[in-house]
Structure 1
Amino acid sequence: MDQREIDEQVRAYYGGVFDEGARLTTRSAQGPLEHRRTQELIAAHIDEGRVLDVGGGTGVHARSLQERGFDVILIDPVPEHVAAAAASGVASQIGDARSLPFPDGSFDAVLMLGPLYHLASATDRVRALNEARRVTRPGGSVFAAALSRYIAFGANVLGRPVRADAAMTALWEQGVPTGNGRFPAGHFHTAEELADEVSDAGLEVLAVHGVEGPGGLALEQIAADRADLMDAALALARATSAEPGIRDFSTHLLAVARVR
Structure 2
Amino acid sequence: MTSTDVEQVVATIHDHYTNRQDEAQRLSSTLKGQLEQARVHELLTRYLSPPPARVADVGGGPGVHASWLAERGYDVELLDPVEHHVDQARAAGLQAVVGDARRLPWPNESKDAVLMAGPMYHLTEPADRRLAIREAVRVLRPGGTLAVIAINRAANLIGSTLANTLERRQPIVEQILHDGHSPANERMANTYYHSVAQLRSELDRLVSQVRIHGLTGPGGWLTVLIDAHYRGTPMPPSLLEPNPLETALTCARLADHQPDLVHASSLFLAVGKRV
CA distance in structure 1 between the aligned counterparts of 2:31 and 2:166, rounded to whole angstroms: 28
Cα distance, 1:237 vs. partner?
Answer: 0.3
Q: In the alignment, which residue of structure 2 is the partner of 1:44?
A: 46
TM-score when normalising by structure 1: 0.91
- Supply the RMSD in Å over aligned alpha carbons: 2.3
Q: Aligned runs of 1:151-230 on 2, under 5 Å?
A: 151-158=155-162, 159-160=164-165, 162=167, 167-177=172-182, 179-200=184-205, 202-220=206-224, 221-222=226-227, 228-230=243-245
Q: 2:33 aligns with which of 12, 31, 55?
A: 31
2:200·2:210 contact (CA, 8 Å) conserved in 1? no
1:143·1:255 contact (CA, 8 Å) conserved in 2? yes
- Whether 2:103 is the aligned partner of 1:99: answer yes
Identical pairs, percent: 36
Q: 1:64 aligns with which of 65, 68, 71?
A: 68
Once the two structures are overlaid, the 10-residue window that deviates more, 154-163 or 247-256, is 154-163
CA distance in structure 1 between the aligned counterparts of 2:45 and 2:271, rounded to whole angstroms: 11
CA distance in structure 2 between the aligned counterparts of 1:140 and 1:125, rounded to whole angstroms: 19
Q: In the alignment, which residue of structure 1 is the partner of 2:142?
A: 138
What's the CA shift string for 1:50-92, capped at 9, x where partnerless?
Answer: 0000000110000111111101000000011000011011111
The one-letter code of the counterpart of 1:124 is D
Q: In the alignment, which residue of structure 2 is the partner of 1:257?
A: 272
The one-letter code of the counterpart of 2:25 is A
Once the two structures are overlaid, the 10-residue window that deviates more, 12-21 or 240-249, is 240-249
1:3·1:119 contact (CA, 8 Å) conserved in 2? no
1:29·1:230 contact (CA, 8 Å) conserved in 2? yes
Once the two structures are overlaid, the 10-residue window that deviates more, 107-116 or 225-234, is 225-234
CA distance in structure 2 between the aligned counterparts of 1:184 and 1:116, rounded to whole angstroms: 13
Task: Indicate the structure with greater helix content.
Answer: 2
| Unaligned runs of at least 5 residues, structure 1 | none
What's the CA shift string for 1:162-186, capped at 9, x where partnerless?
Answer: 5797654432122122523152133
Q: 1:20 aligns with which of 15, 23, 27?
A: 23
- Whether 2:253 is the aligned partner of 1:238: answer yes
Shift in CA distance, 233/182, structure 1 to aligned 2, threshold 3 Å: closer
Cα distance, 1:154 vs. partner?
Answer: 2.2
1:3·1:120 contact (CA, 8 Å) conserved in 2? no
Shift in CA distance, 23/163, structure 1 to aligned 2, threshold 3 Å: closer
Q: In the alignment, which residue of structure 2 is the partner of 1:78?
A: 82
What's the CA shift string for 1:191-219, capped at 9, x where partnerless?
Answer: 1211111122x111430011011121331
Give the number of the structure whose alpha-carbon radius of gyration is greater: 2
CA distance in structure 1 between the aligned counterparts of 2:63 and 2:219, rounded to whole angstroms: 25
Once the two structures are overlaid, the 10-residue window that deviates more, 104-113 or 210-219, is 210-219
| Unaligned runs of at least 5 residues, structure 2 | none
What's the CA shift string for 1:136-187, capped at 9, x where partnerless?
Answer: 1000000011111111222344424557976544321221225231521331
Runs of 4+ in 1 over 6 A off after TM superposition: 163-166
CA distance in structure 1 between the aligned counterparts of 2:257 and 2:135, rounded to whole angstroms: 26
